[in-house]
């Protein structure tokens, strides 16, 4: 929305909010059905304010209000208060948040204190999770261990999970419950077993690893 248009819309909205508040909500003795309806209207206008405010770039800066706080001169939002909604364009790239990394060398007392970000989005049926935290102490089966600072990104699609952190890219496919999981480098596995894995490695002339493809649902040669 254009700056001037947004300013106008906000002004009109504030006028309506003041009107409802002064005319129908100011009387402390007022009660009953009508009061509840006007109260709801005020709340809904508040919601409209929240959404209009998301489009505000706070271009004209902030003014001081009570309790040492600052409010945007245009939309009236308080500086530094987290917003509860996101505004995303229907077309084009959608951006939510910024890339965050662990930001401390300290080992925190617990997971909660070490947390920087833990967010999930279900995007057209694909589940994306971002977990960023500093190092923290964790007690597992009796002893205390230090969990390393990490940024972990996990994508889930059609029963397949791909997670990426600083050290590892891990893909989980078709995990059957109750089966013991083994792991090994290709050269540690006998070629007759290796043939069962539907995996193709990408590499260059010097045999530098470039990536891999996994055939879904396919079985290798047996
Ligand atoms: Zn603003």
Least confident range from 92-96, 102-106, 135-139: namely 92-96
pLDDT level of residue 221 (50, 70, 90 thresholds): low
Q: What is the pLDDT of residue 196?
A: 92
Tokens standing for 16?
Answer: 């309506």
pLDDT level of residue 186 (50, 70, 90 thresholds): very high
CA of 39 to the centre of ligand 1 (A): 25
CA of 129 to the centre of ligand 1 (A): 30
CA of 53 to the centre of ligand 1 (A): 6
CA of 77 to the centre of ligand 1 (A): 6
CA of 81 to the centre of ligand 1 (A): 12
Q: What average pLDDT score do residues 175-196 get?
A: 89
CA of 191 to the centre of ligand 1 (A): 64
Q: Kindly report the backbone phi and psi dihedral angles of residue 52, in degrees, each rounded to the nearest multiple of 5, phi listed first.
A: -65, -40
Write the pLDDT tens digit of every residue in 116-155: 999 999 999 999 999 999 999 998 777 889 999 999 999 9
- The residue that leads in pLDDT, 33 or 202, is 202
CA of 101 to the centre of ligand 1 (A): 28
CA of 76 to the centre of ligand 1 (A): 6
Write the pLDDT tens digit of every residue in 36-58: 899 999 999 999 999 999 999 89
Q: What average pLDDT score do residues 159-177 get?
A: 89
CA of 58 to the centre of ligand 1 (A): 4
Q: What is the pLDDT of residue 220?
A: 60
pLDDT level of residue 187 (50, 70, 90 thresholds): very high
Tell me what the pLDDT averaged over the chain comes to: 90
CA of 95 to the centre of ligand 1 (A): 19
């Amino acid at each position: 929305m254009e700056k001037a248009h947004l300013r106008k819309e906000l002004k009109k909205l504030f006028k309506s909010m003041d009107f409802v508040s002064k005319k129908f909500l100011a009387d402390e003795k007022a009660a009953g059905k009508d009061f509840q309806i006007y109260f709801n209207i005020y709340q809904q206008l508040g919601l409209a304010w929240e959404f209009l405010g998301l489009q505000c770039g706070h271009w004209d800066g902030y003014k001081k209000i009570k309790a040492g706080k600052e409010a945007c001169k245009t939309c009236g939002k308080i500086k530094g208060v987290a917003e509860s909604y996101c505004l995303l364009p229907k077309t084009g790239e959608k951006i939510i948040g910024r890339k965050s990394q662990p930001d401390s060398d300290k080992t925190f007392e617990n997971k909660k204190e070490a947390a920087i970000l833990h967010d999930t989005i279900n995007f057209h049926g694909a589940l994306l999770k971002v977990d960023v935290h500093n190092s923290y102490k964790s007690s597992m089966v009796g002893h205390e261990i230090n969990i390393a600072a990490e940024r972990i990104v996990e994508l889930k699609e059609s029963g397949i999970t791909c997670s990426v952190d600083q050290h590892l890219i891990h893909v989980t496919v078709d995990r059957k419950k109750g089966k013991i999981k083994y792991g090994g480098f290709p050269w540690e596995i006998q070629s007759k077993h290796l043939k069962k894995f539907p995996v193709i490695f990408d590499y260059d002339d010097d045999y530098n690893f470039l990536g891999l493809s996994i055939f879904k649902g396919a079985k290798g040669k047996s």
